[in-house]
Structure 1
Amino acid sequence: MLKLKRDENGNVVVVDGKPVYIHEDGKEAPFDASAAMDTIHNLNGENAERRKANEALVKALNSYSLGEEDGKPVFMDPEVAKKALETVKNLDDKKLVDAGQMETLKMEMNKAFTQKEEDLKKSFKLKEEAYVGEVKKKSDTIFELMVKSQFSNSPTIQDKTILPADIASNYFGKHFVVEGDGPDAKVIGYINGEKIFSRERPGEPAHFEEALSVIIDTYPMKERILKATAGGAGGGGGQGNQNRGGTGKRDESFYKLPAVERLKAIHSGQGKAGGHQG
């Protein structure tokens, strides 16, 4: 599992504009998201070409179809057919091919072509699955680099919420997708299936921080994750807000919990400053 390299302040280490990742063997290397997107684009193109080649092959096989038998296509073997034509050519025009021999010929041709078709389809399916798996793996890596890494350095998460970056990423990351190829790839926010557009730049998709603010603002339990302000979280002011989840601090035991348990504690209203239960 790749891990982002961070400095002593917890910020992601970037080299030449590329985030540095630590591989399982301990080696460090910057990740070129643009190159990865190009690779995925090329793989998709190769996959499409193989699909076309398979369709062309099936079309070619259909030209040798003799109909159907028991719901399965019956094909003519070119080699067997060639020999049969040579045999017929050498026969006297008045002689006919024995009906029993013709049925045997049909069965042999059908068996040979059916096997060839199955082998071709099996080979194509294995290659297609390999390409799909490789594309998914690269897509997951790109999402890790382009989306999850932004949560780690997000001013919105660090300054306005009590959420650790990993919890914020696991919960709100589902609202973001990477769109575009190569250097044009961008992180776009969605909510309720609709793209989030910028209020500052009408007609353009919102940048990550602006989209994240919109998503958090529509979160039903946002008061439990927002940090308290001088006047109280949500602007209510006074001591009436002291029991809200957004106090901005949590006790030490809260941060020792796994990410999923921390999120459950936030949802249940537990884990407030000095008040985590269990």
Structure 2
Amino acid sequence: MKLKLDDQGHAVLQDGKPVYVKDDGTDVVFDALGTTQTIARLNAEAKSHRERAEIAEKSLKGFEGIADPAKALEALQLVANLDAKKLVDAGEIEKVKTEIGKAFQAQLDTANGQAAKLEQQLYAEMIGGSFARSKFAQEKLAIPPDLVQAYFGKAFSIEEGKVVAKDANGNKLYSASNPGELAGFDEALGMLVNQYPGKDHILKGTGASGGGASSSGGGGGKPQGNFGGSKAERVAAIKQMTSNAQ
């Protein structure tokens, strides 16, 4: 980035902060104080994470070789309560092992099912809700939020309770105006749309024409296709339109 200068060669300021020009020609206000505070906070967080990891590592050494300590304790208690005479019979021992395995597997399946359900609900609320509430999608894009999510939803995930966006190479997207901070949902969505080859056919007011745009009503750039069918049909229509336009 280059420092933006006025006609007299002086640095351009906005709210007392210098303005820089990115390679694509857009302006970015640089908050030096905010950046310094962010770096200090990230360093403190990294130290805290490292210390917690060291404590956890020391605590886990006593459980090496045990995948589920709680279940292991339950199994030991169950064995301790068994009639010692029955254990003499090898057939009874195998029966006990089988019953323990069935009970554990049933509990594990239940827990996994509940975890998967909760994960789906969390994804629907945090990511699906973000698409539904996105001002960028509502104001800048000419396709409904559900289709925006169908296109760009795979770029978003939930990490440590936060919505994180990644580019096609798996790199996290960071804010341009707040260095060191992850990009907010709308900022990240804007970056992804800007990288999309068919962006001119999904953005409002781009002036695009042809099979992927409408020239009436002054709202150029609105894609046309089978938007009255199912979601799958609508997604397929957008894909066909953008592929024909490229």
Counterpart CA distance in 1 for 2:95 and 2:195 is 58
| RMSD (CA atoms) | 3.3
Question: Could you tell me how far 1:212 is from its partner in structure 2?
Answer: 0.8
CA contact (8 A) 1:162 1:225 kept: yes
Q: Where does residue 209 of structure 2 map in the other structure?
A: 242
Counterpart CA distance in 1 for 2:199 and 2:157 is 22
Question: Could you tell me how far 1:198 is from its partner in structure 2?
Answer: 1.2
Counterpart CA distance in 2 for 1:112 and 1:130 is 27
CA contact (8 A) 1:224 1:267 kept: no
- Structure 2 runs not aligned, ≥5 long: 1-65, 214-219
Say which of 148, 152, 161 aligns to 1:168. Answer: 148
Q: Where does residue 52 of structure 1 map in the other structure?
A: 69
Distance 1:173 1:212, change over 3 A: same
Say which of 91, 105, 119 aligns to 1:111. Answer: 91
Per-residue CA deviation, residues 122-181 of structure 1 (Å, 9 max, x unaligned), is 11111111111111111111111111112112122122221111111223112112222x
**What code does the residue aligned with 1:140 have?**
Q
Counterpart CA distance in 1 for 2:173 and 2:212 is 27
1:79 aligns with 2:52: no
Counterpart CA distance in 2 for 1:157 and 1:262 is 17
1:186 aligns with 2:192: no
1:123 aligns with 2:103: yes
Question: Could you tell me how far 1:54 is from its partner in structure 2?
Answer: 3.0
**What code does the residue aligned with 2:236 have?**
K
Give 1:1-278 correspondences, 5 Å limit: 51-56=68-73, 78-79=84-85, 108=89, 110-180=90-160, 185-191=161-167, 192-229=169-206, 232=207, 241-243=208-210, 245-246=212-213, 247-249=220-222, 254-269=226-241
Identity %: 29
CA contact (8 A) 1:189 1:195 kept: yes
Distance 1:150 1:61, change over 3 A: closer
Counterpart CA distance in 1 for 2:97 and 2:191 is 53
Question: Could you tell me how far 1:226 is from its partner in structure 2?
Answer: 2.0
- Structure 1 runs not aligned, ≥5 long: 1-48, 63-76, 82-104, 233-240, 271-278
Question: Could you tell me how far 1:255 is from its partner in structure 2?
Answer: 2.8
CA contact (8 A) 1:196 1:205 kept: yes
Question: Which has more radius of gyration?
Answer: 1
Question: Could you tell me how far 1:61 is from its partner in structure 2?
Answer: 10
Distance 1:249 1:80, change over 3 A: closer
Q: Work out the number of aligned pairs and report it.
A: 170
Secondary structure of the corresponding residue to residue 257 of structure 1: coil
Question: Could you tell me how far 1:112 is from its partner in structure 2?
Answer: 1.3
Counterpart CA distance in 1 for 2:193 and 2:137 is 10
Question: Could you tell me how far 1:244 is from its partner in structure 2?
Answer: 6.3
**What code does the residue aligned with 1:210 have?**
E
Q: Where does residue 67 of structure 1 map in the other structure?
A: none
Question: Could you tell me how far 1:250 is from its partner in structure 2?
Answer: 5.2
